[in-house]
Structure 1
């Protein structure tokens, strides 16, 4: 199944792209996808990365065909 992955900030720099469409195995969770991409692109400080699935900050979901997964860098407050 295909999912769209979007990268922002330092994550996009590490990945060398801002977006890609991936073919993932049915039953893959958002956390599993994060782990795969962190390894693939050698993304630093993976614990600080938040995931948004279909614009919801929830990384404990199973992905479905056509989902959008955003890799978000740490947010600065002020």
Structure 2
């Protein structure tokens, strides 16, 4: 199945792109996708990266065809 992955901030810099369409096995969870992309792009502090699936900050979901997954860098307060 295909999902759209969007990268923001320093994650986009590491990936060298802001968006890509990925083919993932059916039944892939958001956490599994995060682990895969963290290894692929050598993200140094994966614990600080948040995921939003279809604009919801919930990474404990199974992905579906056509989902959008955003990799969000740490946010600064202010």
TM-score (norm: length of structure 2): 0.99
Give the Å deviation of 1:44.
1.6
Query: What is aligned with 1:42?
Result: 42
**Structure 2, unaligned runs of 5 or more:** none
**Structure 1, unaligned runs of 5 or more:** none
Aligned-partner Cα distance in 2 for 1:14–1:72: 13
Query: What is aligned with 1:73?
Result: 73
TM-score (norm: length of structure 1): 0.99
Give the Å deviation of 1:72.
0.1
Q: How many pairs align?
A: 78
